[in-house]
Structure formats: structure tokens, C-alpha cells
Structure 1
Amino acid sequence: MSVQLSILFYVKKSKANLQSYTNIYLRITIDGKRAECSINRKVHTDLWNSRLQKALGNSSENQEINREIDFIKNKIYTIEQKFQRDGTTYTAAQLLDVYVGKDKTKKMLLEILQEHNDKVDSLIGKDFAAGTAERYRTCKKHVTDFIKKKYKKNDVPVKDVDHKFITGLEYYLKTTRKCAHNSAIKYITNFKKIIRIAHANDWIDKDPFLYWKAKLKIVEREFLNEEEIQRIIEIELKMERLDQVRDIFIFCLFHGSGICRCQKIE
């Protein structure tokens, strides 16, 4: 990302009051496009140096104005650096919005995902199973990789998620990630919950999933034969947990719980 940022502080002498005091303005210019606002400071027109963009004199009032100008300039550069670290494109108006605090309700997609996943992790064993938490973590990883590949960014505002984003993510899962149809749909369904949270909190104006429809495909699973079952029984597992899982699987298989499918063994 290559942008040309210019920061200018100036006064409008024509707007001075009867005592010759006038407002100091901030102008941000990026690639020729401007955004400006008052910094809520006044200076005497005779004590403003346009070339230095500073108040003249040693009075405590003017020294405070100059400190404020330096602070604002540093803050704007810090905001610009954050945009660049996040890989987010920005304009002069967006930079100014962040400075004045107009973007406080702006939420980033991966931040919302992480906040949700942190809550799920804290409720494992209470409201969520460990497997559910793992699926959401995997979902976040897929969305993160998709954003980097498709948009060349580290994150995007949640308001930028639209129908095109959703169908693009589905295509990415099925092609780049080689997910089967049902697996891809399940990840999109997990992602859908995050977007519904954003909509409920008014972080987005409308639900981009309104026109997204997908159905799971019915999959005919193959039966296990006697030889395959015997191989599962005899396999040496080094982890006690996996050994227990195998025993439960075999128990369910022979007792017709409906969890597993196999050929009838005479």
C-alpha cells in the first residue's frame, strides 16, 4: 500500500473575531483528497506562523497550543500505522473519523470471531462441548486465510461482509481447502452465527445471509466389513483417551445404537 499523507495546520484570518482570534484547523490530505476539522483551539492572527504551523511567543497558552499540535500529528501517524499493519485501505476522511472518534462502533470481522470463540472456550463443559469450540476455532482460521488470500488484508470491517463474500468463502473452502460440500456448508453455518451476532448488535445494517441458501447433501456411508472391524479392535493405540474412544465405538457397533453402521456379522 502506497499513499501520500500530508498533515496541515492552518488558520482562517477572515474568520477572526473582534479580538483577532481565530480557530486553528487540521487538514489531512491523502493522494489529493482532503478532510479537515477544527482542533478547538484559537490563536491570535498576529501570533500564527503559517510556514512553521506553530503559534509564536513564549506564553503558556501558545506553548500549550504547540504541544497540542504535536500531539495531534503524532496521533494521526499512529492511526495511519495501524491501518497499514492491518492491511486496510484508508482515505483522508476515514483517518479523520478515527481521530475524532466517529468510528467507535466500527467492528472488525476477525475481532468479533475471536471474541465469540473466547466466550465459547470459557464455557466448555457448561454450554459447549470441546468439539464445538474446536470447530469455531477452525472456522476462524479458514476465514482468516480466505481474507488474506482474497483481499490481501489481515482483517476486514464486518460491514464489508456481503453475499459475494459469503459465496467466495464457500468456493474457497471447496477448492483451496478441499472441503467436501457438507463440511464447507457447516463452516459457513458457523460463520453465519457470527454475522447474526453482528446484526443483533447493530454493527451491520442488514443480514448478508438473507439470500444465501444451502442444503446438506445426503451421504450414503459404506458399511464396515468383518475384517475392517477386526482391524479396529486389534489396533494398538498409544493414548488412553483414543483407546477409550475405540472401545465405545466397538460397543455401540455391536449393540446397534445407531451411531455406527456395519454389515451384520453372523
Structure 2
Amino acid sequence: MEEKKSTFKVLFYLKKNAPKKDGTVPIMIRTTIDGVEKTRSAKVSVNPDRWDKARMRVTGRDAYATKINNALDLWERNIGAKYDTLFHYEGYVTAEKVDNAVMGTDAKKMTLLTFFKQHNDEFKLKVGKTRAENTHRMYCDVYNHVSNFLKLKYNLSDIPLIELKESFIKNFDFYLRCEKNFKANTVRLYMVPLKRLTAMAKDDNIIAIDPFKHFVAEKESVDIGYLTMDEVEAMISADLPTKLLEIVRDMFVFCCFTGISHTDLKKLTRQNIQDFFDGNNWLVYRRRKTDIKSSIPLLEIPKKILEKYRDYQIGNRAFPVPEYDPCNNLIKIVAGFARIDKHLTFHMSRHTFATMMLSKGVPIETVSHMLGHSNITTTQIYARITNQKISDDMQKLSETLHNFEKALVDKI
């Protein structure tokens, strides 16, 4: 029997301990993936004397053998096809999932929260490999919101997936906005996991129509926060009372001058610092979120921070980076010592880098590459042009049009 991806096997065997009155024995199917088995009946029986154990088929070419063997061939093709489909769309397959897909598990029995939990449990197995813990946490948060919404709005502990309509999505959107008082962009963020779940359910033929098909979430324009150069200087110059605050400050400043995210900073090693053709040190890494390669020439400040932590050794990591939540809390304390009157988050370091680069005239295409964005539109959202950039541009324009303006001013 063919083996796929070195983890997948299908075996046919006889259940000899359960013979029927006519002397035939049921044929069973055992699907094994990564050592985990799922067994079910092939819904046909055979004379055990006609069974070829090695070939896992009935011997002979008569009508009797042909009928049973054709049935087994159909089982094998269906199981293989479902395995391939699940592996292609989800990247992770279990024997249970393949069996459910083959048998066309009754859609009426598949409920939203059951489907959601199965997804989250499987997603958790990928954390640290191909998925991030923060994303798993987001899925779990949305699961809890959906669960609470079902109880409050419908007095239900769960709901069949086939009963999901656009009205359910609109009501959940309203619940997040009005009951939970989340802002529009937070609601959009929470809608993404649910939308992915319903798309998966449609791909699995559990639902016929995606309830998100015509739904458009409200979006609000947000002025993304960043630090000015004066504020970055104040942060660097701040006298901090503890080593931990100093570490968080240094990590934030490093991100301000490289654009690297907290997740990628935490994984950074000395091997990511490379000598390039121009004789300078470059930070070269692949973004975890987009899997896009980023290459950033290092300025003097990030070089100095690298040198400061050269003796830090835990495995092969370049920096002693705390987890995101502690970093987020501690950077607010650092902002207080630096007398920065802004609601600071650690991710604002990335906004600061983008804005700083654009305000100094670096082309947006270059900034987009350094940030590892898959679409330049994302860069346009992140990188807000500073008032200083606008002032500089207008000053250059004024100088260019000086004589023209002077002639007109005299006439006003």
C-alpha cells in the first residue's frame, strides 16, 4: 500500500473474531497517521478463504471478487483524496479528520464551537514551529467571545455550523461593538479568526454558503502612534533605576532603528548580523509573520546596542528579550522616566522606524522591503509622514518658488 508523506497508511484486514452466519467475515479499514489509528468497517464481508492478506484484496477475477475489490479501491481512493485535501488546505491532518471527511460526517452534528475548538487544539500543536503563540491566543480569545455571545444572545451553549447566517455575523459584530465596547478596528481584528473558520467549514463542505460572503466590517482611520526624534533621544538619555528597564529601553530603541518586531527580535541570533558588499553590518532575517526576507543596514545606535549585549549568552540569542506583555508594560514606565507623554506600546518602535525613514527621504519601496511587508499598502498604513517632513518639503518648495512668490506677494 502506498505511503504518503511518510506518515499516512491505509490497511484492509479481516475482523475474524466477528464472523457472520453465512461464514463471511467483515473487512475493516485501518487509517494510520503519525502513529495514530482510526478503524472502521468497509461495509463488505468476504469468504476468508478468498482473502489475500498481502495484497489486501479478494483473490480471483470472477464477479464476486471484482465487486468487493472495486469497493475497496473506492475506499482507498476516497481516503487518499481526503488526506491530500486536508493536508493542502490545513497543513495538519489526523486520522480522525480524514475519517470524518470520508464518511461525510453529518453537517447537522458539527457545531461552531466544536469546530472552533478542534481548530484551536490543532493550531496549538504548530505553535513554535509554523505558528505564533500570540495568534493562538487570539483564536482562543475569539472562541471565548463567541461562546459568551451565544449564551447572551441566543441562550445556547453551541450552534450547528449550517445554521450560521449573515445575521449571526452582524449580531456578533454588534455584540463586540456595543456590549464589549470594542473599537471598530479591534472588532475587525476579532472577526478575522471567525471568518477563517467559516471559510474552512465551507471548504470541508460542512456549510454551503459562507456567512461572511456579503459582510463588510466597519473600518475607522487610526493615527498610528510613533515617537519623534526628540522623544527617541529623551528615551536614550533617560536615567533608569533598574537593569530590567534598561534592557527593555535598549530593545525598544534597537527596534526604532531597525524596524524589527518583538517576535522577530526575540528569535534574533548573531548569525542574523552579516557583513555585506558595502563593508557595513546588515541585519538579515526572515519575518515570522510574512516569511519575507528583510535586510536592514545597521546604523551606529543599533551597532552600539549589539556591542553592549555581546557577552549575553542564552543559547544563540542576540538579546535578553522579555516576553511581549512585560515589555509592553515596562516600556510605559520607561516613557515616564523619559517624560514622554504618550500611550506607548512596544510595537510603536516599528511605527517609529517607518516614520523616521520616510521623514528622512527614504523611498517607501525601500522602507517596505526593510519592514518585510508583502504589500506596499501596509507600509502606507504603518508609516505616517511626520509634521517635520511636511515642514521640510514645504520649505524646499518655498525656496524653489522664492522669486516667483516674491513677485506675486508684491502684487497682493
TM-score normalised to structure 1 length: 0.52
1: CA distance, partners of 2:123 / 2:199: 16
Give the structure 2 partner of residue 64 of structure 1. Answer: none
- Structure 2 contact 111–159 (Cα < 8 Å) conserved: yes
Q: Is the 8 A contact 2:151 2:157 kept in 1?
A: yes
2:118 pairs with 1:112: no
Between the aligned partners of 2:136 and 2:247, the Cα distance in structure 1 is 21
Q: Paired residue for 1:47?
A: none
Match of 1:186 in 2: 189
Residue by residue over 1:114-146, the C-alpha shift from the partner in whole angstroms, topping out at 9 and shown as x without a partner, is 111111111001121111101101110111111
Matched, 1:131 2:134: yes
Gapped regions of structure 2 (runs ≥ 5): 1-103, 261-348, 357-385, 389-412
Alpha-carbon distance between aligned partners in 2 of 1:229 and 1:193, rounded to the nearest angstrom: 43
Alignment-derived partner of residue 143 in structure 1? 146
Cα 1:230/1:117, change in 2 over 3 Å: farther
Maintained 8 Å contact 2:240/2:246: no
Q: 4+ residue stretches of structure 1 with deviation over 3 A? A: 102-105, 215-218, 222-238, 242-247, 254-258
SS of 1:206 mapped into structure 2: coil
- Classify 1:158/1:235 alpha carbon distance in 2 versus 1 (closer, same or farther; 3 Å): farther
Give 1:260's match in structure 2, choosing from 351, 357, 364. Answer: 351
- Report the AA paired with residue 260 of structure 1: H
Give the Cα–Cα distance (whole angstroms) in 2 for the partners of residues 160 and 175 of structure 1.
Answer: 24
SS, match of residue 179 in structure 1: coil
Structure 2: how far apart are the matches of 1:167 and 1:110? 18
Query: Given the alignment, which residue of 183, 207, 210 partners 1:207?
Result: 210
Native 8 Å contact 1:252 1:260 kept in 2: no
Q: Report whether the alignment pairs 1:220 with 2:223.
A: yes
Task: Measure, in 1, the Cα distance between the counterparts of 2:112 and 2:251.
Answer: 40
* Cα 1:245/1:134, change in 2 over 3 Å: farther
Aligned with residue 168 of structure 1, among 171, 180, 192: 171
Structure 1 pair 244/132, CA: closer, same or farther in 2 (3 Å)? Answer: farther
The answer to whether the 8 Å contact 2:150/2:156 transfers is yes
User: RMSD between aligned alpha carbons?
Assistant: 3.2
1:104–1:259 Cα change, 3 Å? same
CA distance in 1, matches of 2:233, 2:150: 43
Q: Distance in 1 between matches of 2:139 and 2:120?
A: 6
Task: Please give the secondary structure, in 2, of the residue aligned with 1:221.
Answer: coil
Superposed, 1:239-254 pairs within 5 Å as 246-254=249-257
The Cα offsets for residues 209-241 of structure 1, whole Å up to 9 and x where unpaired, read as 111123643311244365698579666789x6x
In 1, the alpha carbon distance for the partners of 2:167 and 2:120 equals 24
Take 2:240 and 2:119, find their aligned partners in 1: how far apart are those partners? 39
Distance 2:213 2:232 in 1: 45
3-state DSSP of counterpart to 2:350: coil
Aligned to 2:35: none
- The question of whether the paired residues in 2 share the 8 Å contact of 1:249 and 1:260 is answered with no
TM alignment of 1:23-172, pairs within 5 A: 104-105=106-107, 106-172=109-175
Q: Do the aligned residues in 1 keep the contact of 2:224 with 2:351 (CA within 8 Å)?
A: no
Q: CA deviation at 1:187?
A: 0.9
Provide the rounded CA distance (Å) in 2 between the counterparts of 1:234 and 1:221: 27
Higher mean Cα deviation, 163-172 or 251-260? 251-260
Instruction: Give the CA deviation at 1:177.
Output: 1.3
CA distance in 1, matches of 2:167, 2:242: 45
Mapped contact 2:116–2:197 kept (Cα < 8 A): yes
- CA drift at 1:189: 1.4
